[in-house]
């Protein structure tokens, strides 16, 4: 991964492949952002004009390359757009900094070292630039050039080194901000790797094995229920979904504990390593990216490891509900009734509504420990993509205050999210003549119906929220800001923030 350091060096004397500066959109054209004074001076104070001549406007995500002024050791200046210039006496927002740093890092793929001279006024800004740069530099090359060279044949190796100019390497707060950004970005990028890994290589067993390795490395407790243990425990939902696959399902429990804390959060992730739809097979056009259906479990996994690396004063249990949804002679049929871990029976009307079945068992398992709150994360419904698009996830909850707190946490870390309701009248659409409930209801409002189904498997009195990340989990379009093509790592940063806020007593 990209290495990141704080540096007090002055831009002109710095040996690097490029100097990154910020340019904002001012009322009368591009404006050079603070941090780039030395570069502007070397251009005789005419840098804004030079940028305008080159067509730069300062718009978000815009990248303009120009030769460095004479006397600079670095040959190249990369001016990255920060969007609208802030009002007088206010600074650039954290998300503008993250996005700009991400776009710059991506534009510098193939380079060894870049110095970032972006406007960082405090430790928080430093963390934002660090996070953006580390996330933006990400690329997934494992399956190019056999993954042997560390360098993709068809692409460029990620930017290897970033020096943040203007950072204070001896200041505790700055150091902590870089440490936090590094831990979060590294784990988030690992989640992206998992999501991007093709389903012939990532199945429930191999995912569980990775969790065991990570647990050892980070001092977490890990428990893996294999198909025999699931059978013995009565996990009918997870077993039912995995029944059609050669790769048997798993339920992984990862626990991070802090001896000084009595607070307990549970994170539950949907981990369908491939969703073919099962017997209710998805048509071509709807299954090519369904390796991403374990994005919720990847997010939970990354967040628990990040919480451990940050030593947060809170106990966090991660539950990964892992199965592959495949059609075969042993697969669950539409019409089958499953007896779930909670004891409830479910009539499976559509085997493509599998996420809620594995989550139901994991939610009930998580509930048995009576945590203070449960947050589940899932690529659950196409309906949520229709409702909110590809960049925003939906938040449902059995508690209004908790839903609002999650929404706030998401916005704070730069993850667009929106509250969604759980309308009681949609529950009766899931009434089954045969079982306690069906796994499908009304088509309209399908994301909310799924949320109502999950709610039935949350233990009495436990605060719970559900994040439907089906939209933002996987980016089929071009990269933007610090978001790459493919797996995005959606919800990781929101979960980490929720853990931090719980640790500091600012949530729940
Ligand atoms: N994994 C899908 C949801 C999905 C769709 C994720 C698009 C990412 C992008 C989920 O398992 C599914 O198939 N849901 C069905 C439920 C329906 C059968 C009730 C859906 O949304 O169509
Ligand atoms: Mn499905
Ligand atoms: Zn699915």
Mark whether 180 is an active-site residue. no
Give the alpha-carbon dihedral of 448, 451, 453, 454, to 10 degrees: 180
For ligand 1, atom 9, the nearest C-alpha belongs to 470
Per-residue pLDDT, 227: 98
Q: Counting ligands in written order, which one lies closest to the CA of residue 379?
A: 1
Predicted confidence band of residue 148 (pLDDT cuts 50, 70, 90): low
Report DSSP state, residue 301. Answer: H
Predicted confidence band of residue 491 (pLDDT cuts 50, 70, 90): very high
Ligand 1, from 381, 393, 445: best to mutate by most atoms within 8 Å of Cβ? Answer: 381
Strand pairing report for 393-397 and 417-419:
parallel
Point out the ligand 1 atom lying closest to the alpha carbon of residue 384. Answer: 21
Task: State what percent of residues in the chain have pLDDT above 90.
Answer: 95
Q: Return the SS3 of 63.
A: strand
Point out the ligand 1 atom lying closest to the alpha carbon of residue 449. Answer: 19
Predicted confidence band of residue 151 (pLDDT cuts 50, 70, 90): low
At residue 334, does pLDDT exceed 80? Answer: yes
Instruction: Name the pTM for this structure.
Output: 0.97
At residue 508, does pLDDT exceed 70? Answer: no
Sequence-distant (6+) residues with CB within 8 A of 482 are 98, 99, 101, 102, 103, 105, 106, 131, 132, 133, 135, 136
At residue 36, does pLDDT exceed 80? Answer: yes
Predicted confidence band of residue 156 (pLDDT cuts 50, 70, 90): confident
- Compute the distance from residue 381 Cα to the ligand 1 centre, in Å: 4
Per-residue pLDDT, 292: 98
At residue 293, does pLDDT exceed 80? Answer: yes
Considering only CA atoms, which of 449, 438, 221 is closest in space to residue 319?
221
Give the per-residue SS3 of 318-372.
EEEEEEEECCCCCCCCCCCEEECCCCCEEECCCCCCCHHHHHHHHHHHHHCCCCC
Strands (E) in 68-187, as ranges, are 76-84, 113-117, 161-165
Q: Looking at residues 256-281, what average pLDDT do you find? A: 98
| pLDDT, tens digit, 9 for 90 and up, residues 432-469 | 999 999 999 999 999 999 999 999 999 999 999 999 99
- Compute the distance from residue 365 Cα to the ligand 1 centre, in Å: 23
Per-residue pLDDT, 149: 56
- Compute the distance from residue 351 Cα to the ligand 3 centre, in Å: 10
Per-residue pLDDT, 154: 55
For ligand 1, atom 8, the nearest C-alpha belongs to 470
* Element housing 287 (H / E): none
Distance CA 217, CA 100 (A): 33
Domains of the chain: residue spans and CATH: 3-165 (3.40.220.10), 189-504 (3.40.630.10)
Per-residue pLDDT, 167: 85
Predicted confidence band of residue 119 (pLDDT cuts 50, 70, 90): very high
Mark whether 356 is an active-site residue. yes
Distance CA 500, CA 492 (A): 12
Provide the CA 74 distance to its chain's centre, in angstroms.
34
At residue 147, does pLDDT exceed 60? Answer: no
- Compute the distance from residue 412 Cα to the ligand 3 centre, in Å: 28
- Compute the distance from residue 151 Cα to the ligand 3 centre, in Å: 33
Ion ligand 3 residues within 5 Å by Cβ: 272, 275, 293, 355
Provide the CA 2 distance to its chain's centre, in angstroms.
18
Per-residue pLDDT, 155: 72
Q: Counting ligands in written order, which one lies closest to the CA of residue 439?
A: 1
Pick out the residues of the known binding site for Mn(2+).
Answer: 270, 275, 293, 352, 354
| Neighbour-count burial of 287, counting CB atoms closer than 10 A to its CB (0-12 exposed, 13-18 middle, 19+ buried) | middle
Q: One of 151, 282, 339, 455 is an active-site residue; which one?
A: 282
Crossing angle of helices 355-367 and 446-455, in 10° steps, is 30
| pLDDT, tens digit, 9 for 90 and up, residues 61-80 | 999 999 999 999 999 999 99
Considering only CA atoms, which of 283, 279, 282, 287 is closest in space to residue 331?
279
- Compute the distance from residue 232 Cα to the ligand 1 centre, in Å: 29
Question: Ligand 1: which residues within 6 Å by Cβ?
Answer: 275, 293, 350, 352-355, 379-383, 385, 440, 446, 470
Q: Average pLDDT, whole number, for the chain?
A: 96
For ligand 1, atom 7, the nearest C-alpha belongs to 382
- Look at the chain and count its residues: 508
Per-residue pLDDT, 150: 55
* Element housing 124 (H / E): helix 123-136
Point out the ligand 1 atom lying closest to the alpha carbon of residue 280. Answer: 18
* Element housing 266 (H / E): strand 264-275
Q: Say which range, 1-5, 57-61, 292-296, 364-368, has the weakest mean pLDDT.
A: 1-5
Q: Counting ligands in written order, which one lies closest to the CA of residue 271?
A: 3
Per-residue pLDDT, 45: 96
Considering only CA atoms, which of 167, 158, 71 is closest in space to residue 118?
167
The answer to whether the beta carbons of residues 396 and 446 sit under 8 Å apart is no
Q: Looking at residues 407-434, what average pLDDT do you find? A: 98
Predicted confidence band of residue 495 (pLDDT cuts 50, 70, 90): very high
Ligand 1, from 326, 380, 391, 491: best to mutate by most atoms within 8 Å of Cβ? Answer: 380
Distance CA 127, CA 455 (A): 36
């Amino acid at each position: 991964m990209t290495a990141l350091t704080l540096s007090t060096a002055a831009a002109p004397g710095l040996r690097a492949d490029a100097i990154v500066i910020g340019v904002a959109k001012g009322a009368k054209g591009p404006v050079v952002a603070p941090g780039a004074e030395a570069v502007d001076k070397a251009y005789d104070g005419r840098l804004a004009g030079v940028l305008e001549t080159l067509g730069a406007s300062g718009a978000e995500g815009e990248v303009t390359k120009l030769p460095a002024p004479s006397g600079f050791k670095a040959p190249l200046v990369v001016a990255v757009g920060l969007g609208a210039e802030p009002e007088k006496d206010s600074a650039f927002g954290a998300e503008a900094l993250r996005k700009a740093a991400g776009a710059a890092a991506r534009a510098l793929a193939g380079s060894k070292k870049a110095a970032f001279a972006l406007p960082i006024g405090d430790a928080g800004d430093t963390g934002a630039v660090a996070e953006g740069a580390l996330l933006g530099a990400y690329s997934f090359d494992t399956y190019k050039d056999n993954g042997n060279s560390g360098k993709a044949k068809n692409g460029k190796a990620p930017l290897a080194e970033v020096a943040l100019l203007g950072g204070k390497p001896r200041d505790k707060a700055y150091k902590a901000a870089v440490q936090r950004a590094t831990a979060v970005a590294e784990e988030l990028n690992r989640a992206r790797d998992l999501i991007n890994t093709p389903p012939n290589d990532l199945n429930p067993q191999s995912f569980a094995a990775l969790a065991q390795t990570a647990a050892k490395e980070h001092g977490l407790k890990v428990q893996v229920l294999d198909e025999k243990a699931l059978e013995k425990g009565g996990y009918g939902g997870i077993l039912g979904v995995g029944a059609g696959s050669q790769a048997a399902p798993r339920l992984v429990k990862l626990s991070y504990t802090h001896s000084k804390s009595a607070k307990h959060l549970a994170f539950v992730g949907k981990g369908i390593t491939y969703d073919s739809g099962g017997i209710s097979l998805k048509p071509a056009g709807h299954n090519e990216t369904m390796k991403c259906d374990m994005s919720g479990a990847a997010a939970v996994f990354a967040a628990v490891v990040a919480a451990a690396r940050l030593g947060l004063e809170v106990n966090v249990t991660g539950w990964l509900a892992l199965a592959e949804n495949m059609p075969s002679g042993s697969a669950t049929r539409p019409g089958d009734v499953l007896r779930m871990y909670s004891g409830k029976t479910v009539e499976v009307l559509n085997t493509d509504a599998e996420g809620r079945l594995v989550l139901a068992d994991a939610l009930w398992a998580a509930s048995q420990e009576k945590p203070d709150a449960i947050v589940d994360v899932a690529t659950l419904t196409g309906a949520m993509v229709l409702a909110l698009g590809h960049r925003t996830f939906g938040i449902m909850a059995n508690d209004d205050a908790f839903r609002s707190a999650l929404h706030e946490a998401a916005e704070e870390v730069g993850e667009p999210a929106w509250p969604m309701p759980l309308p009681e009248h949609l529950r009766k659409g899931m009434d089954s003549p045969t079982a306690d409930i069906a796994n499908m209801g009304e088509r309209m409002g399908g994301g909310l119906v799924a949320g109502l189904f999950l709610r039935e498997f949350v233990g009495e009195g436990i605060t719970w929220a559900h994040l439907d990340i089906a939209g933002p989990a996987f980016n089929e379009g071009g990269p933007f800001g610090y978001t790459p093509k493919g797996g995005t790592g959606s919800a990781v940063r929101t979960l980490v923030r929720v853990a931090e806020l719980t640790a500091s007593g600012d949530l729940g």
